[in-house]
Structure formats: C-alpha cells, structure tokens
Homo-oligomer: A and B are copies of this chain.
C-alpha cells in the first residue's frame, strides 16, 4: 500500500498537479473530517485546525460524545473553527420495527447535535440490508428519511445522502450510486435533503460526470481522499490526495459546475495517516489539498 511518504508519491503528485479544472478552491473551503485523525480527541483536532489555519472541521458523533455537545460548541466557538457537517446519521434498515424506530430517534439526536454545533448538514450513511433483501433495505431508507425530514427542516439542518462505494453495500449502505442518491433526494423537499459526493465512493462510475451535472443544486457536501493501488481492505484503502488514481481536479471541476461552493472535507481512513502526528499531518494535507484538488 502506498503511504503518503512513499517515493512514488512525488511523481504521482506531479501528475495530479497537471490541473484540468482551473485554480484551487483555496484554503477558505478546507474542512478536516476528524476521522482522518481517528486517534485524536475533538479537542486535539480543533486546536490543530486553529493552529494550522484550517477553517472547518467535520465532527463525528462518537468523538462528540466523549466531550459533550455544549462543551464542544464552546470549544469550537473559542477556536474560531466552524463545523461543515456531523457524521453520521442514517443506518435506517433494521430487522424489526422497534429497532427502526430507535434508529429514527438516534437520527433526531444527530440533527439536534448538528443544530447545536451550527453544522448545516448531517451526513447520512444510509445502512445495509439486515438480511439478503437489498430492495427492502432501500425502501426502509426512503421511509426513514421521510420520517426524519420534518424534524430536520424545523431545525434548519440538511440531510446529505452519501452514496457509498459498492464494496460497502453489504455492511454500510445500500445506496451505492450518485444516480440512486440523487433520485432518492429528489423525492423530498430539496431545501432539506441533498446529496454528498465523496470521490472515494463515486470515482469509478461510468455516469459520474453526467450524474454530477444532474445533481446541480442538490449537492450539500464534497469529500476528498484518494484510491490507493493495490487495493486490499476496501474500508482502509483511502489515501492522501495525490497518492492514488482518482482524477481529483476533474471531479472537483464538475462539482464546481454543479454549483457546490461549500466546504470541501478531507476524509481519510488509513492506518499510516492515523499514525501521523497532527502537526505533521495538517501541513501535508493542506499542501495536497492545494496542489491536487
């Protein structure tokens, strides 16, 4: 697996730096998705973002739970770091009605947390089938979102449906393509439900650029990382931008044309990245964001 410090990286970075989509979106749109530093606390991540001039952070709920919502809101306010999204809601399909109700309730708590932190978006990782019936799971996802929409609308929080790589279809999300996520979002009030485009999940799609164009006005989030070669574990195969095969600039250009001008989250599940000290990771991440996205 290529590490961010692999000697190949410089060459690969050079290839990516041959931009196809105009100027960098700039640091003012950069968000550090805190899963990129899975071993750090929210306090450590917020401090590091403030120190390194990263204006946004995406907050994960298991990290937020360690701190508490009110202390976290103060911490973020004091540091001058804004929240691009709360990760994650979703996980709607379940084997029993009782469990599905419990999951809606948990999604309401995610909406409350987003509202309390001033985050505009809750990212929905929609969930997988509890058995073999993926069509039934997809219906449970649509029903779950329908039930959540009024609560989110009242609190001014948008729900971002994130289509996930088909490698996750059995365990994390039965919503696997941009087309499917867009058509699902279009069933709801577009001021409340949108789509999150994550390059890792969608780069392989033969309809990618067509579907991004059709998602104009619907995008509520854009996540970047890279797809490393060779791929092994599909969850942990993400790499630093520039270390893999994704045409980041081209995709970012299409996201621009679809009208998305919000924060761009860097979200990397990768052991080598998780092992880097934040004061090494953040300068590298900023440099790659500026040169590769």
Interface residues of A (CB under 8 A from B): 15-16, 129, 131-134, 138, 165-171, 174-177, 179-180, 203-207, 227, 229-234, 244-247
Contact = CB atoms under 8 A, between A and B. Distances in A.
B231 A205 contact: no
A176 B206 contact: yes
B166 A205 contact: yes
Contacts of A171: 229-231
Number of copies: 2
A227 B230 CA distance: 20
Given A231-B234, A234-B234, A169 B132 contact: no
Contacts of A175: 206
A282 to B, nearest CB: 25
Contacts of A167: 165-167, 231, 234
B176 A205 contact: yes
A6 to B, nearest CB: 16
A5 to B, nearest CB: 20
A175 B244 CA distance: 19
B170 A231 contact: yes
A132 B15 CA distance: 9
Contacts of A205: 166, 176-177
A184 to B, nearest CB: 9
9 contacts: A132-B245, A132-B247, A133-B247, A165-B166, A170-B231, A175-B206, A180-B206, A232-B234, A233-B233
Contacts of A138: 206
Contacts of A246: 132
A179 B210 CA distance: 14
Nearest to A18: B132
A246 B174 CA distance: 13
Contacts of A247: 132-134
